[in-house]
Amino acid sequence: MLGEQKLKQIADKVLCLSKADQTEVLLSVSGNALTRFANNEIHQNMAWKNLGISIRVVTDKKIGVASTNSFEESALQCVIAKATTLAKLQKPDPSFVSLPLPCTIPEVKNDIHHATEDEMAEGARTIIEKAKKEKLKAFGAYANDVSELAVANSLGVWAYHAGSSCNLSTIVMGENSSGFASDVARSPDAVDAKKVAETAVSKTLESTNPQDIEPGEYEVILEPQAVSEMMAFFQWYGPNARIYHEGASPLSDKMNTQVFGKNITLIDDPFHSDVFPMPFDFEGHPKAKITFVKNGVLKNIAYDSYYAMKFHKKNTGHALPAPNTMGPIPLHLYIAPGNKAREEMIQNVKRGLLVTRLWYVRVLNPKVLNVTGMTRDGTFLIENGKIVRPVKNLRFNQSIPEALNNIAGIENKLTPLASFEGEMISLAPTLHIKKWEFSSRTLF
């Protein structure tokens, strides 16, 4: 890691060299390691480090972006020249007003923890040993990501943060069953490998000899991993200013109206004690805890500087790195916990399915936000409030807004989870959903 002072010097040098009307510098330094295991032994083990600099220049509302992975003076000059040339070749964007002005960045402690290759191997070993005892096979990965991120612009923005995450996940397999478990934390000391091993192994044993079940409409208990996988698509296609103002979001034109059930509150909190904190966005604008949906009523959507100025709204600090063709995204969104214990929620199901996680979820139509996907690694039939047997996996086709209008129960706690890429940590409760549409079955 290079530290704030060194990165500030590099940013200042770039800002000094650039002759554009406005210039933004995004700097990143990363050190990563990953230990993968399969068939009860480590099979891929790697470490890599990199750095990156991305420069956005603006001249007469014309924007160019160039990036490279060297901080050498010659590389900096080259990347500035490239971005400047691109900007000159651009057409003016009439909707562009300005890069963001400096604002006070909330203080968040820089918190870095490196995991050694031996610590990571030990995490894998704990799971492998537990699986072997039960004559099962363990597969999984232990990732350690350490990063520094800094943003500066010629209007005076300076923001710096350093952090880390450790993510241990596994799928344990038997002859005809599998079970998933994971844990995420900021430091390797806080990763509970034993608990991950026990959860995955017991899930695998419980799902032995799954039976066929008819597809159709079922009540479901979605465990936190499944909820997170469902809500990932809502993050991208829901409260996103770009899509919202195109009229292509299921939330378009619905501000201050009831969009979900009254028991649904959606919060974006980049400072939650269980998440990987992010005090500013990729333009260096401060982040804040924001309620997007309160008791089912849409209250806010996510803006970055471009869309905030274009539509005369407040910048909510949700910019992604430039050039961003996806729109502003809330990266720390979660469903506020309810008042039910997991077991109580299962007891309230007359006939339904408990789903450990979802797999290969894809959007069919972003406007209605219906998605398809499979269940995976532990699906169980619930009858009269009790889990009665494991069942084979099913395909679903389900509208997310419809599901959020049919919530019968929300767990009273949030579970921290690694995101799809393992780089961010998200939070999710278990949900009891009254209707979920399964359309076909598979062979296992």
Partner 1 sequence: MIKQAENILSKIPSADYADVRIVDQTSEDIATKDGVVEALASSSSIGYNVRILKDGVFGFAASNDMSEHGIDETIKKAIAIVKASAADKTTNVELDQCDPIIDSYKTPRKEDPFSVPMEEKIHILLEADKEQKVSNKVAVTQSSYQANRERKYFVSSIGSKIDQEIIWTGAGIEATAVDGPDLQNRSYPNSFRGQNQTRGFELVRELELAKHAPEIAQQAVDLLTADTCPTGEFDIILDSNQLALQIHESCGHAVELDRVLGYEASYAGTSFLTPDKLFNFQYGSNIVNLTADATIPGGLGTFGYDDEGVPAQRTYLVKNGMFQDYITSRDTVTKLHEINNQYNPPSGGRSNGTVRASSWSRLPMIRMTNINLEPGGEKGTGKAWTLDELIADTEYGIFMSTNRSWSIDDKRYNFQFGTEIAWEIKDGKLGRMLKNPTYQGITPQFWHSCDAICGRPEWTVWGTPNCGKGQPSQVMYTGHGASPARFRKVKVGVVKW
Q: Which of residues 138-157 bind partner 1 (CB under 8 A)?
A: 139-141, 143
Judged by CB under 8 A, the chain residues 211 through 270 that form the site for partner 1 are: 246-248
Number of residues lying near partner 1 (CB under 8 A): 90
Half-sphere exposure in the Cβ direction for 47 (13 Å, CA): 9
- Which DSSP category does 282 fall into? T
Give the binding range for partner 1 (CB under 8 A) out of 17-25, 124-132, 152-160, 267-275: 124-132
Residues 385-424 as x/- pattern, contact with partner 1 by CB under 8 A: --------x-x-x-----------------------xx--
Give the binding range for partner 1 (CB under 8 A) out of 14-22, 271-279, 360-368, 404-412: 360-368
CA distances for 371 relative to 257, 397, 404, 420, angstroms: 23, 6, 13, 16
Judged by CB under 8 A, the chain residues 20 through 59 that form the site for partner 1 are: 32, 34-52, 54
SS3 223: coil
CA separation for the pair 232, 229 (Å, rounded): 5
Nearer to partner 1, 9 or 176 (CB): 176
> Are 284 and 104 spatial neighbours (Cβ–Cβ below 8 Å)?
no
> Are 409 and 437 spatial neighbours (Cβ–Cβ below 8 Å)?
no
Least gap, CB of 42 to partner 1 (angstroms)? 4
One residue of 100, 131, 137, 279 binding partner 1 per CB under 8 A: 137
Nearer to partner 1, 54 or 265 (CB): 54
Nearer to partner 1, 118 or 189 (CB): 118
CA distances for 129 relative to 46, 110, 111, angstroms: 22, 35, 31
Least gap, CB of 443 to partner 1 (angstroms)? 5
| Residue type present at position 423 | E
Token reading at 391: 């069942």
Nearer to partner 1, 287 or 357 (CB): 357
Nearer to partner 1, 252 or 291 (CB): 252
Least gap, CB of 384 to partner 1 (angstroms)? 28
With CA atoms as reference, report the closest residue to 149 among 266, 276, 238, 42. Answer: 276
Judged by CB under 8 A, the chain residues 362 through 381 that form the site for partner 1 are: 362-368, 370, 372-374, 376
Residues 151-190 as x/- pattern, contact with partner 1 by CB under 8 A: ------------------xxx-x-----------------
Least gap, CB of 79 to partner 1 (angstroms)? 8
Does 209 contact partner 1 by CB under 8 A? no
Residues 297-326 as x/- pattern, contact with partner 1 by CB under 8 A: -------------------------xxxx-
Judged by CB under 8 A, the chain residues 92 through 121 that form the site for partner 1 are: 93-95, 117-118, 120-121
CA distances for 413 relative to 116, 167, 197, 284, 329, angstroms: 31, 20, 21, 32, 24
Least gap, CB of 120 to partner 1 (angstroms)? 7
> Are 51 and 147 spatial neighbours (Cβ–Cβ below 8 Å)?
no
**From the CB of residue 375, how many other CB atoms can be counted at a distance below 10 Å?**
26
Least gap, CB of 241 to partner 1 (angstroms)? 14
Least gap, CB of 315 to partner 1 (angstroms)? 18
With CA atoms as reference, report the closest residue to 334 among 231, 260, 220. Answer: 231
> Are 285 and 303 spatial neighbours (Cβ–Cβ below 8 Å)?
no
With CA atoms as reference, report the closest residue to 306 among 295, 292, 318. Answer: 318
Nearer to partner 1, 9 or 50 (CB): 50
CA separation for the pair 272, 196 (Å, rounded): 23
Angle at 126 between CA 124 and CA 131, to 5 degrees: 95
Least gap, CB of 134 to partner 1 (angstroms)? 17
SS3 132: helix
Does 442 contact partner 1 by CB under 8 A? yes
Nearer to partner 1, 63 or 346 (CB): 63
**From the CB of residue 215, how many other CB atoms can be counted at a distance below 10 Å?**
14
